[in-house]
Amino acid sequence: MDIILVGLSHKTAPVEVREKLSFTDAMLADGMVLLKGYGEIIECVILSTCNRVEIYSTVEESEMGVARIKDFLHSYQPDRPLDWITQHLYIHKNEGVVRHLFRVASSLDSMVVGEPQILGQVKDAFDTALLNKTTGAVLNKLFKKSISVAKRIRTETKIAENAVSVSFAAVELAKKIFSSLKDKRGMLIGAGEMGELAARYLVNSGIKEIVVSTRNYERALNLAQAYNGRAVRYEYFLDEMAKTDVVICSTGAPDYILRFDQMQDIIRKRKNRPIFLIDISVPRNIDPAINKIDNIFLYDIDDLQAVVDANLKTRKDEAEKGERIIDDEVDTFSKWFKSLEVVPTIVALKDKVEDIRRKELGRAIDRLKTLSPDEMQAVEALTNTIVNKILHGPLVALKGEADSNNGLLYAEAVRRLFNLEIKAPDEEDDEGGR
């Protein structure tokens, strides 16, 4: 048995390809059931997000399984040539699949390393597969392990800490200056995309109130409504700033809209209470000289980018720690997976020899009815000893090769020599849930 992965992601396929092959929530269950119905596919899970479409499967023969999955994907875009899909695909097998899924679930393969959404998406895909009975012992073990590995990496590293977008960095800086934003007022001047995103982060951080002011008052009203805030006409925003603690400026103005003398007047009205200014405009809309005024903290987009770059460096260092954790976890899972070929063979061999021993002992006892109970016990012990001595060598060899590349060859040889029937492996549910 092999584990295979056929997929594409933001690293291999443009968005126009990914969106055509993505599975909606409504399509996902039907897709897994359909794929599981193919003769070559033993188990399957489909993971579909905005950045990736990946199909995880167990198969008896990997090349046939990969071909079948390619056909399956092509069936969703039958009017396009198969190469339109295959040129963007990556294919992994066995240990490569394990490593890839652990990296995906841990966000090490994400566009933004450390982002939290992907783990939830992996869990949802697995839940859908469980609900529709498209998994078995191997993929159940693999996906449960990927979830626990992701949690371990988030616990043992700082991969998810620190802002890695300009807008988020702005809000994180505001939180450091004020400790808490719950009793603070915020203002968005202009309607730039990054400024609006920063305003959204402020609201999500619990800021008391948000005020919006743009040259287009209708636009200001719509934005304010989206944030449960207030709109202020553009000509009055300076009056409002005296009551504002955090100001995000993101306009298309060609020059400064906040000058040194204006902010001096505002800080006096605030009785020297600190005010945090975020200028995400290009060109800048806030006079940099304002930073010289006591209790005014001004940051422009370059300041924030420096914070983001430093944080990305930190995340990269933490990601390297995560990769080392994955190395250990991949090794553990691979040993378990390789043992699937050997352990059932060991069990089957013991069962078969024990069955022969019991039957032959039963026939002999029928002919030796004059034996005393002690003599019967001695004969029983003798047959057990003979069987154990005969099996000792083969069992030691099988166990020794269980997690090696030769394990499959040893297991196959024993199966043929003893004509063994192998049962499907039972799942080891050692992940404590899911």
Which residues are catalytic, by number? 50
Bin 274: left if φ > 0, else alpha if -120 < ψ < 50, else beta: beta
Q: Are 135 and 129 in contact (CB under 8 A)?
A: yes
In sequence order, what are the beta bridge partners of 249?
189, 279
Strand partners, 91: 6
Q: Residue 272: left (phi > 0), alpha (psi -120 to 50), or beta?
A: left
Q: Are strands 246-249 and 275-279 parallel, antiparallel or unpaired?
A: parallel
- Residue pair 423/348 in contact (Cβ under 8 Å)? The answer is yes
Q: What is the torsional sign of CA 339, 344, 347, 349?
A: negative
Kind and range of the H or E run holding 55: strand 52-59
Q: Which run of H or of E encompasses 318?
A: helix 301-367
Token pair of 74 as six digits? 């092509």
Rounded Cα gap, residues 3 and 65, in angstroms: 10
Nearest to 85 by CA among 10, 20, 30, 11: 20
CB neighbours of residue 309 within 10 Å: 12
In this structure, are residues 199 and 210 in contact, taking their beta carbons and an 8 Å threshold? yes
Distance between terminal CA atoms of the chain? 24
Structure tokens at 214: 């743009």
**Could you tell me which residues come within 8 angstroms of residue 421 by beta carbon, excluding any fewer than 6 positions away?**
348
Radius of gyration (C-alpha) of the chain in whole angstroms:
32
Tokens read off for 301? 């987009």
**Distance, CA of 403 to CA of 365 (rounded, Å):** 42
